[in-house]
Structure 1
Amino acid sequence: MNARVEDFDLLVVGGGKAGKTLAMDHARSGRRVAMVERAMIGGTCINVACIPTKALVTSARAVRTLERGRSLGLVVDDDVPVDVDLLRQHKTGVVDGMVAANLQQFLGSGMDFVLGEALFVAERTVEVALADGGTRVLRGAETVVNTGTRPRVPDIPGLAEAGVLTSETLLELQTLPARMTIIGAGPIGLEFADMFAAFGTEVTLVAPAQRVLPREDPEMARAVHGMLQAGGVTLLLGREVRSVSRDGGEFTLRLSDGTVLTSDAVLVAAGRTPVTEDLGLDRAGVATTAEGFVAVDEYLATTAPNTWAAGDVAGSPQFTHASLDDYRILKTNLAGGRRSTRDRLIPRTTFLSFDLAHVGLTEEEARAAGRQVRIARLPVAAIPRARAGRDTGGLWKAVVDAGTDRILGATLLGDSAGETITTIQLAMLADLPYTSLRDMIITHPTMTEGLNLLFATLSED
């Protein structure tokens, strides 16, 4: 370490949602801030995750709308053409615009934005191999690790050698494959399965899990399963991929039950792994967990003094909105407060041709915790706005404490569920009884109006 050490009030390693927001906030307040980012200006979400995938989900939903155009009074061709070049232009245009906006915000905040590879060489100190050549050594009075995660490639014989796709490399496909096999039944795998089925690809999804979305309510997971099948996805669950091989442009997958699949593309969607192994965290006194995540306490403090971690790499729920709340926690705690990650009510949404949104406890979790519950269910077809748009697939379900009438959780499947779940979340945060949503005057006809109907089913028990 021959370069001169440059000192900063705050050093952020990795420019994800928590890190970049904290860096800009501190820089605008007049503090001296440096943020090091390896490659993705704006973070994973903008470049290879939430934003580009949701741009393509929008395209897939448009295809589905055109497919049912005649039922909406439109004259459309039976075959809806999908142009992969136009899809890529749409996705790239959205991403490039947000990357440019982020870079402008970084520079406008007054931070020292450093593009390069960071390696910890001592406590709160990194040596950065700059992207344009040269080296800098940066030290923070306070340091935050926010390096995120990358796609996990499981140890399946032949998988890595076959040149399969991940959720990141898939976004650069030059052609739409005629046949695609997806390994994994979590949100990422399902989003791509539904998307490519809409684009006309023959999609087969394989997973060792007995059902899709194992962390979700079993009843709602079955409903998702049915809607995916109706959309053209073949699901082979409870089966493991034993080996993968490739001959030219064709992949062969051998499954645990003897099934042999052939495919033009294989996507691995088997979760994500933390970006920590090449950071030199041991030199900084920062411990990691057995899974490789940075070990933090409920205040996001690491095992090293004045060193923090946030976002996916800290084991926080892998959502951009959770990372944004990590920023709020760090902002408070760096100012001497004691804000905690405990008992956060964090919603989630899987974006298919329809939304699957959830907040709080599932029925299974509530009963396992010993709660006496009442269950509200409503088919989306009962909601006037859904009927008006002929988009009636789905089911809404809420879990209510039988003794207090408080909402313990909800899972909504169908059109606009990701928007509607926020109303339930707000009622839970305000500790309102379910009757508040049952009796609230809600604009007609909207999807949120379905909450009146959903919670009215409890009065019919």
Structure 2
Amino acid sequence: MIIGSGQGGVPLAADYAKEGRKVVVFERDALGGSCINYGCTPSKAFLAAAHGAGRARQTEKLGIHTQVNVDFPAVMERVRGIRDRFNQGVHKRLESAGVRVICAEASFVDERTVKGGDVTIQAPLVVINTGTSSLVPDLPGLAGTPYLTNRNFFDLKTLPSRLLVLGAGYIGLELGQGLARLGSETHLIVRGDRVLGQEESDVSETLAEAFKQDGIQLHFGVNAERVAYENNVFTLSLSNGDQLQGDALLVVIGRKPNTGALNVAASGIELDDKGFIKIDDQFHTTCSGVYAIGDAAKQPAFTHVSWEDYRRLKAILKGEQRNRHDRVLGYAVYTEPQVGRVGMTLEQAQKKGMNARSVVLPMSQIARAIEWGHELGFYRMVIDTDTDKILGATLVGYETAELVHVFLSLMEAGATWQLLEQSVHIHPTYGEALPSLARLLVED
């Protein structure tokens, strides 16, 4: 029995059904989880259009003068079409594998016994894959207004002329910059002193500069105190006394686990103080036979992590030696410039007591970046000076979500920085700068 049809639950269900097991999936919403329905798939289809428009405008510095006309309804119709096609693919995959799908909200009624709708099922193996959803603040005046989250953002049919974004994490930055590049006057309300506050400060500074170039207005060090909605206009009152008005309000302050309706106590499953499912290193909950994967179990909230959780758990159940931490973690932020991250930052490594150091190469010193006009950003690599192994990398620049895989593979193989330094990458490419980055260690 699998509760939730996210990117870990679906392949697990399909695999077990094809092996001849009786498999049931409970899903209260759309099949495919957040990635397909209101996460990766629609957001990246949306950003394809947004960044296409942004890049076209930026060709002025290359001597190309363009006029960009955005057909917003067509943009969003394409986004929804791709989303729906992917969703149907999940339907077909489960159906062809012989998985029984119960479209109902599931809750435990006894040990490893779940009820959904008028169906009650007990199973020896239960996997929880319910994911997370938008965290909505208890902000006076917000309830009952047509505010946006990533859940309903992709249902937009008209371009808001003015957009207010509450939150400065990766979802707010991607969608906020996206609407700005498609023509919205965009304001980012940032509680702290920088965007993307969990990353290194120069990452935040680079993105802030890019956003200013896109005409986005950044409001730092303020809290939203109340919301008013009248005549289709949002008025947001800030802690510094300012008021901002917008035709749309996007609330993206964080995520919460989808565990509230599960009644997990009926099966002896414990939650932490924030509602995430407690698991050990082998994804086992506090109830025998019940496992949890993905971000509902506080794993890093990325599709590729949830999918690898499925592979990990399947291997564990076959008796193999895997655990929830046994792969190098990489991720990306799909702003422009992109942020590609893998492993540890210098600060994280030093806090662990490692003898670490880093080297940095600005994009403005990379031939391809100069030639193409993509000079905003940098490449950074962190190494262990005791072993020469690569500990992490931060890449901020054009399509760095692709380039960061070079580091991810080297780190998975346990390689040293000398292997990268000895590599001869093709000229002129962005990837050519990676060995150049490593050669800074030789020069020192």
TM-score, L = length of structure 2: 0.96
- Deviation per residue, 1:168-193 (Å, 9 max, x gap): 11111121111111111111111111
Q: CA deviation at 1:422?
A: 0.8
Q: CA deviation at 1:59?
A: 0.7
Q: 1:87 aligns with which of 75, 91, 109?
A: 75
Q: For residue 384 of structure 2, what is the aligned residue in structure 1?
A: 401
Verify the 8 A CA contact 1:395 1:413 in the aligned structure 2. yes
Instruction: After TM superposition, list the pairs within 5 Å mapping 1:220-231 onto structure 2.
Output: 220-231=203-214
Q: For residue 96 of structure 2, what is the aligned residue in structure 1?
A: 108
| Aligned-partner SS, 2:165 | strand
Verify the 8 A CA contact 1:295 1:314 in the aligned structure 2. yes
Distance between the aligned counterparts of 1:75 and 1:203, measured in 2? 24
Task: Give % identity.
Answer: 35
Answering whether residue 277 of structure 2 is matched by residue 294 of structure 1, we say: yes
Q: 1:50 aligns with which of 40, 52, 74?
A: 40
Q: CA deviation at 1:343?
A: 5.1
Q: For residue 148 of structure 2, what is the aligned residue in structure 1?
A: 165
Verify the 8 A CA contact 1:210 1:237 in the aligned structure 2. yes
Answering whether residue 440 of structure 2 is matched by residue 457 of structure 1, we say: yes
- Deviation per residue, 1:88-147 (Å, 9 max, x gap): 111012111111111111111121122222222111121121xxxxx2222222001111
| Aligned-partner SS, 1:405 | coil
Q: For residue 132 of structure 1, what is the aligned residue in structure 2?
A: none
Q: CA deviation at 1:386?
A: 2.7
Q: For residue 416 of structure 1, what is the aligned residue in structure 2?
A: 399
- Deviation per residue, 1:230-288 (Å, 9 max, x gap): 12211112111111111121111111111211111111011111111111211122111
Distance between the aligned counterparts of 2:218 and 2:346, measured in 1? 25
The count of corresponding residues between Structure 1 and Structure 2 is: 444
Distance between the aligned counterparts of 1:156 and 1:70, measured in 2? 42
Q: CA deviation at 1:458?
A: 2.1
Answering whether residue 378 of structure 2 is matched by residue 390 of structure 1, we say: no
- Amino acid aligned to 2:188: L
Distance between the aligned counterparts of 1:305 and 1:261, measured in 2? 52
Q: For residue 28 of structure 2, what is the aligned residue in structure 1?
A: 38
- Deviation per residue, 1:2-53 (Å, 9 max, x gap): xxxxxxxxx0010011111111111111111111111211111001001100
Distance between the aligned counterparts of 2:111 and 2:367, measured in 1? 60
Q: 2:163 aligns with which of 180, 183, 189?
A: 180
Distance between the aligned counterparts of 2:441 and 2:214, measured in 1? 32
Q: For residue 258 of structure 2, what is the aligned residue in structure 1?
A: 275
Distance between the aligned counterparts of 1:100 and 1:261, measured in 2? 40
Instruction: After TM superposition, list the pairs within 5 Å mapping 1:60-139 onto structure 2.
Output: 60-71=50-61, 76-77=66-67, 80-129=68-117, 135-139=118-122
Q: 2:300 aligns with which of 317, 337, 344?
A: 317
Range that drifts further, 419-428 or 429-438: 429-438
Q: For residue 6 of structure 1, what is the aligned residue in structure 2?
A: none
Q: For residue 59 of structure 1, what is the aligned residue in structure 2?
A: 49
Verify the 8 A CA contact 2:346 2:357 in the aligned structure 1. no
- Amino acid aligned to 1:46: I
Distance between the aligned counterparts of 1:445 and 1:93, measured in 2? 37
Distance between the aligned counterparts of 1:244 and 1:227, measured in 2? 28
| Aligned-partner SS, 2:328 | coil
Q: CA deviation at 1:443?
A: 2.7
Q: For residue 317 of structure 2, what is the aligned residue in structure 1?
A: 334
| Aligned-partner SS, 1:141 | coil
Q: For residue 3 of structure 1, what is the aligned residue in structure 2?
A: none
Distance between the aligned counterparts of 1:196 and 1:454, measured in 2? 34
Distance between the aligned counterparts of 2:269 and 2:292, measured in 1? 10
Q: 2:15 aligns with which of 16, 25, 46?
A: 25
Verify the 8 A CA contact 2:112 2:126 in the aligned structure 1. yes
TM-score, L = length of structure 1: 0.93
Q: CA RMSD in A?
A: 1.6
Runs of 5+ unmatched residues, structure 1: 1-10, 130-134
Q: CA deviation at 1:71?
A: 5.0
| Aligned-partner SS, 1:223 | helix
Verify the 8 A CA contact 2:225 2:239 in the aligned structure 1. yes
Verify the 8 A CA contact 1:242 1:254 in the aligned structure 2. yes
Verify the 8 A CA contact 2:278 2:297 in the aligned structure 1. yes
Verify the 8 A CA contact 1:217 1:363 in the aligned structure 2. no
Q: 1:443 aligns with which of 404, 426, 433?
A: 426
Distance between the aligned counterparts of 1:316 and 1:60, measured in 2? 30
| Aligned-partner SS, 2:31 | coil
Q: CA deviation at 1:329?
A: 1.7
Distance between the aligned counterparts of 2:168 and 2:283, measured in 1? 30
Q: For residue 8 of structure 1, what is the aligned residue in structure 2?
A: none
Verify the 8 A CA contact 1:153 1:160 in the aligned structure 2. no
Q: 1:260 aligns with which of 232, 239, 243?
A: 243
Range that drifts further, 149-158 or 60-69: 60-69
| Aligned-partner SS, 1:244 | strand
| Aligned-partner SS, 1:356 | strand
Distance between the aligned counterparts of 1:234 and 1:68, measured in 2? 18
Alpha carbons of 1:261 and 1:75: their partners in 2 closer, same or farther (altered >3 Å)?
Answer: closer
Verify the 8 A CA contact 1:355 1:416 in the aligned structure 2. yes
- Amino acid aligned to 2:262: L
| Aligned-partner SS, 1:330 | helix
Verify the 8 A CA contact 2:72 2:182 in the aligned structure 1. no
Q: CA deviation at 1:370?
A: 2.9
